[in-house]
Amino acid sequence: MRRSTALQRLLGVGLVWLALVGGPVPAQAKVRICVSFHGPALKNPGGYQRLLVSELAHHPTHQVVSRGCATTLRLEYIQLDGGGYLTGQLHGAVPHRVRVSRPSELPAKIREVVAFLLKREPVYLVDNLASSGLLTPPRLSLFRHGVYLFGLEVSEMILWTPGSYSALPSAALRFRRVVDRWYLGARVGFAYNPLPRPALPEKHFVRYHGTARVEAGITFFPNGPAALYLSGLVGVEYLQIYGVVNYARKDVVLALFGVSLRAGVELLRLYAVRLDLFAQVNLPLHKARNLDMPVIDAYTPSLQVGAGVSF
């Protein structure tokens, strides 16, 4: 009887595991890609088309097809005085251009452009996702594709307290993982108020403000040189507030949990360094209070307006 119960438990564990992992993980599906090469100034553009197809064969994540493609790759060579330029564009995304001093460099430049574009492939083909388990990784995952962006931001923060507000210069470090029009990221910021505390005892005064948040957002018109974006953030913030308790000046350090809404425009997207102009509203989900030191008992929303660079 005990042996039968043990077998039933083992069978139950096995069924749960199969439901989670979905059985053996099959080989990764290849992205079906259509390619084209345009070079009116070349004597044999068809040969370079075949060279492009041959180059794609060295990339196991993609399969060249003539129809039913999930993405497209277009290469164009333009001859100018003193040299030429090879431009590649994948799936209508931002093109990548390299200089070609002479036509004999084209094979190497084709290899370079193809490797650069496929490394940032925005299309992910996941077949039969429903047959995969909860723990089965996608065929082409977010962690293998997309673009990493690191940034530095400066802004002016206005933080409201009962009957007053504090203006704090702020700086932040930002990290993003961009896939097509979507991105995930994290942001760590610090703001400091260098002004002396106010003479009026009834006013609150914020000395510093620190934040650590995670972010998820969407980019509008992602294929152009400028793009609008909208994101939501969630995380914690720390602030030091001065106030008056029983006619004596006191200060308290508080930790708050809150959400933020951020909107902005990203410029110079065709260059290695991008410019970001943004506005961000921070809303704490609970009041700033300390039972042992009742300096403040109120919500402390804030607004940030600033600029940053990312690379």
For the chain (311 residues), the mean pLDDT of every run of 10, in chain order, is 54 51 50 86 81 86 85 88 84 83 87 84 44 42 65 94 87 90 93 80 80 94 86 93 70 88 91 91 88 79 95 86
Q: Where in the chain is the domain with CATH 2.40.160.20?
A: 147-310
Please name which of 255, 173, 199, 265 lies closest in space to residue 227, comparing C-alpha atoms. Answer: 265
Cα–Cα distance measured from residue 165 to residue 161, given in angstroms and rounded to the nearest whole number: 5
Q: How far apart are CA 310 and CA 153, in angstroms?
A: 9
- Segment holding 45, helix H or strand E: helix 45-56
Residues paired with residue 31 on neighbouring β-strands, in sequence order: 62
What integer pLDDT is reported at residue 127 of this predicted model? 39
Domain with CATH 3.30.160.100 in the chain: 31-119
Element (H, E) at 159: strand 147-161
- CATH T-level topology, domain 147-310: Porin (2.40.160)
Tell me the C-alpha to C-alpha distance, in Å, between residue 100 and each of 8, 80, 88. Answer: 68, 10, 13
Distance of CA 126 to the CA centre of its chain: 21
What pLDDT, on the 0 to 100 scale, is given for residue 222?
78
Q: How far is CA 306 from CA 71, 154, 158, 162, 238, in A?
A: 37, 6, 12, 25, 20
Residues 6+ apart with CB under 8 A from 182: 216, 217, 218, 219
CA dist 277 → 188, 262, 308 (Å)? 17, 11, 7
Do the Cβ atoms of 77 and 41 come closer than 8 Å?
yes
The pLDDT value recorded for residue 284 is 93
DSSP state at residue 257: E
Say whether domain 31-119 belongs to CATH 3.30.160.100: yes
Q: For residue 55, what is the DSSP state?
A: H
- Reduce the DSSP state of residue 24 to 3 states and report it: coil
* CA dist., res. 295 & res. 241, Å (int): 8
Can you give the pLDDT at residue 202?
63
End-to-end CA distance of the chain: 66
Q: Tell me what pLDDT residue 17 has.
A: 47
Q: What span, in angstroms and rounded, lies between the C-alpha atoms of 64 and 54?
A: 9
Amino acid 190 reads F
Angle at CA of residue 87, ends 36 and 140, nearest 5°: 65
